[in-house]
Amino acid sequence: MKNLKYCSPSTLIIIFIHINILVTSCLTRAEEFDTVIKLPRSGLRRTRSRWVLSVGDYGAEGDGVHNDTEAFLEAWNVACSLPGFINVVFPYGKTFLVHPVDIGGPCRSKITLRISGTIVAPPDPAMWHGLNQRKWLYFHGVNHLTVDGGGRINGMGHEWWDRSCKTNSTNPCHPAPTALTFHRCKDLKVRNLMLLNSQQMHMSFTNCMRVVASRLKVLAPAFSPNTDGIHISATKGVEIKDSVIKTGDDCISIVRNSSRIWIRNISCGPGHGISIGSLGKSKKWEKVQNVIIDGAYLYNTDNGLRIKTWQGGSGFASKITFQNVLMENVSNPIIIDQYYCDSPHSCRNETSAVRVENISFIDIQGTSATDEAIKFACSDASPCEGLYLENIFLASCFGGNTSSFCWQAHGSARGFLYPPTCFPSSDDDFIRQNVLLESNDANPAIHSV
């Protein structure tokens, strides 16, 4: 430091600024290190630029019998309190019993929850006594979260299904948990996981922004009630891709106030297909807009591509495109139903309705399990407007012809169209359509495309 007397004043100022920055940085690092070394059973390890916390280091047994919930929460709270990039790990080869759990943010860190083993729920619904019966693994207010790892999340839902009023109408109707809920999360990634046998819905995004879900397997028996694969509600900016969904309800359902949804490369079936809605129940105002489903294979589903709204609601479903879809043995392949009524009692006729407009069905091919392959049952008070069909071929699984039904539906069509639609098309398209129909009449037992 004695040589500083030969430095100019400006040089001295710069040197002292750098010294001050260096000292501050060292103190900060010392404080962080001090925090780490005081953590009980921390098990903190560093790999490159990430801290790694295993739930086993916080007391998790991983034998599928002992309750590992507190160990998970302890590891999460430590990860949430630290800065930087943190991995919280459920190790491969172990089964972790986790009871209903509330996992909150915001966090200082960007957390990757790496599920390499299996997480299972308590099989007995009594474990939810006094708790919210709609939730099992509930994440809320967490930003920049990634859930990954190649493992399994098993809802152990059989006892819930047996008690459902959808299974037995003499049972009282009670809510059941969604296995994996993300609420008010931003910049979320969920990938490389298998979700099994959820109590009710498997995965739900509510009030989230910027979500990517990819390379998922969602599996439950066809008889399991209300076990939607992926449910999107009041969420903006969602991409779902490269996934297989086999459940007892909608493979993907998109409901109230969701927008900018992109779904591609999805295998769906069994289940109830891909649904927009239901919308407008209990006279609510709801909207869904800017949705693209591009690339899907649907087989043995109760519905194909569906928009469903309740009478008496308001709002709109708009700017929705279904394209590049292959169907096999699908009931109601293309359906818009503005008279939806999922109730043991008949629904009253109402004069208001959720508007359905600017909906496109493009390059939809396959086989229908019902004679009515296209159904547009639109509202008298608010007819469907701007419907568009292009290159549709939906033959019967059982031979014979398929048909279209249109009520208060307005739009246009282009390209090959079978069954014939109620919309006008160009002269060239009309000629090509009749050639296609004659070919089908010559060989009515068409079972594949």
SS3 (DSSP) at 303 = coil
From CA 389, how far away is CA 419, in angstroms rounded? 11
DSSP string, 203-229: EEEES-EEEEEEEEEEE--TTSTT--S
CB within 8 Å of 55: residues ≥ 6 apart: 62, 68, 71, 72, 75, 88, 89, 90, 91, 96
Catalytic residue selected from 272, 345, 410, 447: 272
**pTM score:** 0.85
pLDDT value, residue 10: 37
From CA 107, how far away is CA 258, in angstroms rounded? 26
CB within 8 Å of 261: residues ≥ 6 apart: 232, 238, 240, 254, 288, 290, 291, 292
Element (H, E) at 427: helix 427-442
pLDDT value, residue 424: 80
pLDDT value, residue 45: 67
pLDDT value, residue 16: 37
From CA 389, how far away is CA 337, in angstroms rounded? 17
pLDDT value, residue 263: 98
First to last CA, the chain: 84
- Joined together, the tokens standing for residue 230 give 């992926």
pLDDT value, residue 446: 31
Amino acid of residue 233: S
CB within 8 Å of 449: residues ≥ 6 apart: 326, 365, 366, 367, 393, 395
Give catalytic status of residue 174 as yes or no: no
**Ramachandran angles phi, psi of 59, nearest 5°:** 105, 5
Stretches in the chain below the pLDDT threshold 50: 1-41, 427-428, 430-449
What ranges do the domains of the chain cover?
Answer: 40-249, 271-449
DSSP state of 126: G
Q: What is the pLDDT of residues 54-84, one digit of tens each?
A: 999 999 999 999 999 999 999 999 999 999 9
- Joined together, the tokens standing for residue 95 give 């089964």
Query: Do the Cβ atoms of 232 and 253 come closer than 8 Å?
Result: yes
pLDDT value, residue 422: 87
CA 62 to chain centre: 28
From CA 203, how far away is CA 252, in angstroms rounded? 10
Q: What is the pLDDT of residues 9-33, one digit of tens each?
A: 333 333 333 334 333 443 343 333 3
pLDDT value, residue 166: 92
From CA 190, how far away is CA 197, in angstroms rounded? 18
pLDDT value, residue 437: 44
CATH topology of domain 40-249: Pectate Lyase C-like (2.160.20)
From CA 68, how far away is CA 231, in angstroms rounded? 27
- Joined together, the tokens standing for residue 187 give 């910049």
